[in-house]
Amino acid sequence: MKEHALKPLIWRGFKVKTTDPNHNYGYANNRLAGLMVTRRNQAWVTDITYVRIKYGFVYLAAVMDLFTRKIVGFAISGLIDAELCMQALRVAVENELPQPGLIHHSDRGVQYACNEYRSELDRQDMIPSMSAKGYCYDNAFMESFFKTLKAEEVYLTEYETIRDVLNSIPKFIQEMYNVKRMHSSLGYLSPVEYEELASKNLLEKRGIPSFVQVGP
């Protein structure tokens, strides 16, 4: 890098708190720890992150299929509330049409623990799951996605308004991350490529793991 006068991009911006676990709604048991995921729509993980714009922040809620690492649903809003998270979930359901019994995993934040969100999970016949306090392994998949999103899209772009975010981030997720972004854990395939090979039972024939082991 010195030879070619290249310098790394290092971001040390202000961090916005997106999780408030201090509420009276209670918590679901952690159903991901130690789970082996062997198919799509067996387990989803979801979380919220923030995106800086010129005069404030907007928020992104995303839902990932744990087997394929594909972002199956997302929503963007100026409010960090349960409706943002429910919209991302509804998009995921519309896209994937999962069977009853899917494990839905989140952090212990109030947006996911509140009555409105838990009722939405009941309507979708999903099994709620939440991270245990201080347990980081099961949410590492979403953290990895957010890190990629920030490094390869957000930190390279100056967003003026929420409309700029709405124009850029969906394109990054749908056209780059899901379709083109290679994952070492997926045999250097993109989520869409991995999903297609899995549907044809070709993963093991190509020496690619056909399962995801969560946590220790």
Residue 25: phi and psi, rounded to 5, are -85, -15
Q: What is the mean pLDDT of residues 5-25?
A: 58
Instruction: Name the residue type at position 198.
Output: A
Is the model's pLDDT at 163 over the cut of 50?
yes
Contact 68, 214 (CB under 8 A): no
Domains and CATH numbers, the chain: 36-213 (3.30.420.10)
Residue 63 is predicted with a pLDDT of 98
Residue 26 is predicted with a pLDDT of 85
* pTM, to two decimals: 0.89
Sign of torsion over alpha carbons 101, 104, 108, 114: negative
Residue 33 is predicted with a pLDDT of 86
Q: What is the mean pLDDT of residues 40-62?
A: 96
Residue 52: phi and psi, rounded to 5, are -75, 135
Residue 19 is predicted with a pLDDT of 54
Is the model's pLDDT at 160 over the cut of 80?
yes
Two tokens, residue 119: 């009722």
Contact 46, 105 (CB under 8 A): yes
Is the model's pLDDT at 152 over the cut of 60?
yes
Lowest-pLDDT range of 32-36, 63-67, 92-96? 32-36
Q: What is the mean pLDDT of residues 81-101?
A: 97
Q: How many CB atoms lie within 10 A of CB 166?
A: 14
